[in-house]
Each structure stands twice: as C-alpha cells, then as structure tokens.
Amino acid sequence: MHRLDWGTVPTWASAVLTGGSLLLGFYILLRDRKKEERADALKIICWHERGERYVTHVLNASE
C-alpha cells in the first residue's frame, strides 16, 4: 500500500496563514466599503412637517 504524504508542518502553517490573510483582506475591504456607504447615507437629511397638508423634505448634502 502507498502512504499519503501530508507534507510538513511549515507547509501546513504557510497554507493556513495564507488563507487567513486572504480572508482578513476581504473582510477589511468589505468593512471599508460599508463605512463609506454609511458616511454617504448620513449626509442625507429627511424631515416631515404637518400643517394643512403633510410635507416631506429630503436634503442630500453629499458631494
């Protein structure tokens, strides 16, 4: 019978660390994108006035 060669500890460690660093990189990219979208959304102001009729105002203060 043939025995499987599972590699060495440094090979496994480098594979796990490389995969972890890729996942961390994607997480940071998604987090930064969400921060930018939230910052843009916070620049939009909406308020509602009641009088003879209902009026809704929206102000977009973003660039």
Query: For 3-35, how does the pLDDT look when each residue is reduced to its tens digit (9 = 90+)?
Result: 777 778 889 999 999 999 999 999 999 999 999
Does residue 27 lie in a domain region?
A: yes
29-61: pLDDT as tens digits: 999 999 998 998 889 999 999 988 999 999 998
Does residue 4 lie in a domain region?
A: no
pLDDT at residue number 1: 63
Based on C-alpha coordinates, what's the Rg of the chain? Answer: 26
Residue pair 62/40 in contact by the 8 Å Cβ criterion: yes
Does residue 28 lie in a domain region?
A: yes
Does residue 13 lie in a domain region?
A: yes
Does residue 1 lie in a domain region?
A: no
Domain that holds residue 45: 9-60
- As a whole number of angstroms, the distance between CA 53 and CA 15 comes to 65
Q: Tell me how many domains the chain contains.
A: 1
Does residue 50 lie in a domain region?
A: yes
Amino acid identity at 59: L
Does residue 40 lie in a domain region?
A: yes
**pTM, full prediction:** 0.58
Q: Which candidate, 33, 59, 37, 36, places its Cα nearest to that of 46?
A: 59
